[in-house]
Amino acid sequence: MPHIDRRELAAIAVGGAVGAVARVWIALHLTSPDDSWPWGIFIVNISGSFALAYFATRLQERLPQSTYRRPLLGTGFCGAYTTFSTMQVEILKIAQAQRYALAIGYALVSIAAGMTVVWLATTAVRRTRVMV
């Protein structure tokens, strides 16, 4: 086992708790039928990817080193807010409804949009002058 820092774990727990509550809240308010485009998780995953790229780039390349911001905001919040498993189960449900084009489209658009917002956030942080 790697060395365990209890305060780092506490930061991840707090971020993870808030991230899960935020995702569940959005998913309960943006519901869609099993065989249609899953807007709730799509919006969560893309906004969370933008936020993670923003935090990761800013904390790593722009701000002085901090021990607990990355675990709180990155590993904890963004990691728990976004989800891979629910997306895969949604793709499966859409495929089981025999809407194969929609299933493939949802998978590929999620990846394309996710990669695009990570690139956008990374580029935006690097272009901005340091303001602590």
Phi and psi at 98, nearest 5°, equal: 60, 25
Query: Distances from the Cα of 123 to the Cαs of 6, 70, 119, in angstroms?
Result: 33, 19, 6
Q: Which stretch binds another protein (CB under 8 A): 47-55, 61-69, 124-132?
A: 47-55
| Gyration radius (Cα) of the chain, Å | 17
Query: Which residues between 82 and 121 bind another protein (CB under 8 A)?
Result: 82-89, 91-92, 107, 110-111, 114-115, 117-119
Query: Cβ closer to another protein: 17 or 63?
Result: 17
CA–CA separation, 19 vs 80, rounded Å? 5
83 neighbors 24 (Cβ within 8 angstroms)? no
CA–CA separation, 92 vs 107, rounded Å? 10
CA–CA separation, 49 vs 128, rounded Å? 19
Q: Which stretch binds another protein (CB under 8 A): 61-69, 78-86, 124-132?
A: 78-86
Query: Cβ closer to another protein: 9 or 130?
Result: 9
For residue 79, state whether it binds another protein (rule: CB under 8 A): yes
For residue 23, state whether it binds another protein (rule: CB under 8 A): yes
Q: What is the nearest approach in angstroms of another protein to the Cβ of residue 52?
A: 4
Sites of contact with another protein (CB under 8 A): 1-2, 4, 9, 12-21, 23-24, 27-28, 45, 48-49, 51-53, 56, 71, 75-76, 78-89, 91-92, 107, 110-111, 114-115, 117-119, 122
